[in-house]
Amino acid sequence: MAETHLQGVEISATQFLEIWRHYDTDGNGFIEGKELQNFIQELQQARKKAGLELSDKMKAFVEQYGQNSDGKIGIVELAQILPTEENFLLFFRQQLKSSEEFMQTWRRYDTDHSGYIETDELKLRMFDSNNDGKLGLTEMARLLPVQENFLLKFQGVKMCGKEFNKAFELYDKDRSGYIDENELDALLKDLCEKNKKELDINSISTYKTSIMALSDGGKLYRTELALVLCADEN
């Protein structure tokens, strides 16, 4: 079915979702490695079978990732190369262009600070990896292009609840119940030192700006910081 959709002159939102789920075989929110190579091969075959040439964007994509076994793309990158309906593509073009903007948007929609946003549109449901009808921060972050998705950097350093609470209390030096920008800076520096493979100490300013976008008037409460640093223990 996915290969048939790839033959289309224009791909609907529903077809796009089917294509995405077909090639993201492990459901981790990315098409990568063998998944990506399979997609490229079947994309070329499908377009040829339909008598269609690859678009310029498709050709550039194949050239960039065709021989790259370590390649990885997110849902935004896929939307940019497939001939999707214009109104669907506009959704991605108009969405979050930076990690800071993403965090600000999350803060605006997660009004009850529950750590989730309810999903009621097909465009958003495709990010709901566990199909529970609501989006967590990590799920929603799939709206970001892979290179902009700073949250990917923190996947390898997330803590269990007990570890996170201990760290929060350690850096909340004035016991105010929240962490300010200076306290977050100290926390991030220590995290970078302990996790040099995952985090780049030269990017602390970017990490800090993005995370502080979740804050309430410069106050980063435990629940907001947990969205970034605390592993889901469900």
* Domain boundary residue, one of 93, 114, 140: 93
% of the chain exceeding 70 in pLDDT: 84
Q: Does the pLDDT value for residue 90 go beyond 60?
A: no
Residues 189, 204: contact at Cβ < 8 Å?
Answer: yes
Out of 25-39, 50-64, 66-80, 121-135, pick the least confident. Answer: 121-135
- At 198 the three-state DSSP class reads coil
Residue 142 belongs to a domain with what CATH number?
1.10.238.10
CA distances from 203 to 17, 143, 188, 198, 207 (A): 33, 21, 10, 11, 6
Q: Does the pLDDT value for residue 43 go beyond 90?
A: yes
Q: Does the pLDDT value for residue 74 go beyond 60?
A: yes
Q: Which one has a higher pLDDT value, 115 or 211?
A: 211
One domain, residues 151 and 181: yes
One domain, residues 213 and 117: yes
One domain, residues 141 and 225: yes
User: What ranges in the chain are assigned the alpha helix state H?
Assistant: 2-6, 13-23, 34-49, 56-65, 75-81, 86-93, 99-109, 122-125, 137-140, 151-154, 161-171, 181-194, 204-212, 222-229
Out of 23-37, 49-63, 98-112, 151-165, pick the least confident. Answer: 98-112
Q: Does the pLDDT value for residue 146 go beyond 80?
A: no
CA distance 32 to 24: 8
One domain, residues 119 and 220: yes
What pLDDT does residue 94 have? 56
- At 135 the three-state DSSP class reads strand
Domain annotation covers residue 10: yes
Q: Which residue has the tokens 């290179």?
A: 147
Tell me: the pLDDT tens digits for 15-27? 888 898 899 998 8
CA distance 122 to 180: 37
92 pLDDT band, cuts 50/70/90, is: low
Tell me: the pLDDT tens digits for 196-220? 878 888 888 888 888 888 888 889 9
One domain, residues 117 and 52: no
CA distance 150 to 223: 19
* Domain boundary residue, one of 93, 112, 129: 93
CA distance 125 to 228: 21
Task: Indicate the number of domains in the chain.
Answer: 2
* Domain boundary residue, one of 93, 123, 141: 93
* Phi–psi pair at 118, nearest 5 degrees: -70, 145
One domain, residues 67 and 179: no
What pLDDT does residue 196 have? 83
Domain annotation covers residue 234: no
Q: Does the pLDDT value for residue 44 go beyond 80?
A: yes
**What integer is the mean pLDDT of 114-130?**
67
What pLDDT does residue 86 have? 65
One domain, residues 52 and 74: yes
Domain holding 171, by residue range, is: 99-229
Q: Does the pLDDT value for residue 138 go beyond 80?
A: no
One domain, residues 136 and 206: yes
What is the rounded average pLDDT for all residues in the chain? 81
One domain, residues 72 and 178: no
Q: Which one has a higher pLDDT value, 33 or 216?
A: 33
